[in-house]
Amino acid sequence: MALEWVVLGYAAGAEAIMVLLLTIPGLDGLRRGLVAVTRNLLKPFLSVVPFCLFLLMDIYWKYETRPSCEGDSCTPSEHLRHQKSIMKSQRNALLIAAALLFYWLLYSVTQLVVKIDQLNQRVERLKNRD
């Protein structure tokens, strides 16, 4: 079950790097190519959303079916394993939230950069007309 978390981590990392490269000032020459690549990758990266929902349901199912370990009913090792399981679930939920947030940011930033380019082209055409 660890492979899907690795895939989600790499997807979130790739999204974060693309958002960072799109928002760094001074990369105007690189930005046009990066916008084209990012726009082409937005549709495949959309698969992150249902994948995150599936993983979120998996966390919820594991939480609901987890044996409770309260009071003196557990040995110290069982209590430690229970605490580790809770920590891993919280970490994975943060990873899901980060992946969804980075996808939303990537989509929004890409749309804004495209809109800015279109407006700059319109301004240039109006300047050339006058």
Asked if 8 and 95 count as a contact pair (C-beta separation under 8 A), the reply is: yes
- Residue bearing the bigger pLDDT, 85 or 95: 95
Residue 10 confidence class, pLDDT cut points 50, 70, 90: very high
Count of structural domains, the chain: 1
Q: Report the pLDDT value the prediction gives residue 1, as an integer from 0 to 100.
A: 58
Residue 31 identity? R
Under DSSP, is residue 130 helix (H, G, I), strand (E, B) or coil? coil
**Mean pLDDT throughout 44-67?**
87
- Residue bearing the bigger pLDDT, 59 or 65: 59
- Residue bearing the bigger pLDDT, 129 or 73: 129
Residue span of the structural domain in which 47 resides: 2-67+74-128
| CB under 8 A, 24+ apart: contacts of 70-73 | none
CB proximity list for 56: less than 8 A, separation 6 or greater: 93, 96
Token digits for 124? 């240039």
Q: How far is CA 103 from CA 45, 83, 118, in A?
A: 7, 31, 23
**Mean pLDDT throughout 56-67?**
84
d(CA 120, CA 108): 18
Token digits for 46? 């959309």
**Mean pLDDT throughout 4-12?**
90
Percent of the chain with pLDDT over 70: 98
Percent of the chain with pLDDT over 90: 41
Q: Report the pLDDT value the prediction gives residue 124, as an integer from 0 to 100.
A: 94
d(CA 37, CA 128): 30
Token digits for 73? 């009913």
